[in-house]
Structure 1
Amino acid sequence: MNIIMIITIIISFLCGSIPTGYLITKKFRGIDIRTKGSGNIGSTNVKRIVGTKLSIITQILDVLKGIVPVTLGIYLTNTMNLPVSADIYLSIIAIATVLGHDYSPFLAFKGGKGVNTTLGAFILIAPIPTLTGIAVHFILRLFTNIVSIRSIALGVTIPVMCIVMKSPTSTIITTTIACILMTFKHKDNLIRIVHNEEK
């Protein structure tokens, strides 16, 4: 692993670490979103607390946090000779971005649940699995209003589809890690679902 790779992986982590939901609600509503609702900085909690407009902005920026580092990685793979394959390099960048979002050093290594950033990070690496995950999320809206169920289903769909489509091993591994992280981050929601308390 050369210095360029190390630097871009660090940049990817830091890009993912930008706490958009926290910054947006602080800037435009003067509140700490971590002290409201579920305490999560993601777009779902932002919507519940301050409304749809800022939630959509948060969602877009969280997706872009995933897209931008991977786009940079794609550019570098096309212009430089890297010591690993493009699949491995881009997969590392993608999961580094998701980890940054989930464990932001700007928020004492706490963060969001990673749904939107996962979508952004893998949409260019595994477009069909990612789009399938999005489709599953929206289809489930016909059956449940519980966002956490739909989000976990989205997270599970992506690595399953990567396996079905025989994606590169590195992509399967990193989408699986992202799925596990997403599920773990929803652990409180899962507990509430078990107790029939989730909304």
Structure 2
Amino acid sequence: MNLLPLLTLVAGYLLGSLPSGYLAGRWLAGLDIRQQGSGSTGATNVLRVLGKGPALVVFAVDVGKGAVAVLLAKAVLEPLGVPLDPSAQVPLDSWVVAAGLASLAGHIWPVWLGWKGGKAVATGLGMLLGLAWPVGLACFGIFLTVLTFSRIVSLSSVVAALSLPLLMLGWFSGQGLGVRWPYLALALLTTVLVVWRHRSNIQRLLAGTEPRLGQKKAG
């Protein structure tokens, strides 16, 4: 029974590592998506290479990976009496957050693809929806708002990621729950991961060469 919390982390990683974008490329077009467009296995590159339908499916699967990893950890650990009390050595919050982070790690560094995966935006959204759905929806709303005006996916992703710590802090404070440190740490680490994975995109944004939706150039 003591191994179950660790197994939820392994399950989170394996869920996150499901290479949906890569499989879409192989199954639908017989190509390696990593050698097309931006080289990413995420939904944005699938959109550029394969079109809207496959991209929507890949996006939904990637969101599901993050959400299921978190919900699975909750479903497994809560009945076992893993403590919610923050003063416990490892409270339930921390295990659930860790399972979400494991899914992000699996998406970014999938064992099946030589540790090279996507940028974790969709999987991060799913993780947030599983952990604190109002925060996830708010973050997605910011993403869509920026995307509507800019039509640049990378800019929208980075802005949404930068807003995440404030959204997480504001949500729990507004509920009278104070600072939930595992969740705040998750928000900060997620922000760092997303920004780091978009570092080449940020360079192109600063240079004014980042492609917008509908353009065929790599991004």
The 5-angstrom pairing of residues 1-199 of structure 1 reads 2-82=2-82, 84-165=90-171, 166=173, 167-199=179-211
TM-score of the aligned structures, taking structure 1 as reference length? 0.95
| CA–CA distance in structure 2, aligned partners of residues 159 and 20 of structure 1 | 28
How far the C-alpha of 1:131 sits from its partner, in A, is 0.9
The CA RMSD measured in Å over matched residues stands at: 1.4
Shift of 1:13: 0.6
Count of residue pairs brought into register by the alignment: 199
Mapped partners of 2:134, 2:188: distance in 1: 15
Residues 66 and 103 of structure 2 are in contact (CA less than 8 Å); yes or no, is this contact kept in structure 1? yes
Shift of 1:159: 1.8
> How far apart, in 2, do the equivalents of 1:137 and 1:178 lie?
15
Q: In structure 2, what is the Cα distance between the partners aligned to 1:141 and 1:28?
A: 27
| Conserved? CA contact 1:133–1:157, under 8 Å | yes
Q: 1:51 to 1:142 in 2, by over 3 A?
A: closer
Q: Are the structure 2 counterparts of residues 23 and 142 from structure 1 closer, same or farther at C-alpha, using a change threshold of 3 Å?
A: closer
Following superposition, which runs of at least 4 residues in structure 1 exceed 6 angstroms of deviation?
A: none
Counterpart contact for 1:129–1:159, Cα < 8 Å: no
Which position in structure 1 is the counterpart of 2:216? none
Given the two structures, how large is their TM-score scaled by the length of structure 2?
A: 0.87
How far did residue 109 of structure 1 move? 1.0
Unpaired segments of 5 or more residues in structure 2?
Answer: 84-89, 174-178, 212-219
Structure with higher Rg: it is 2
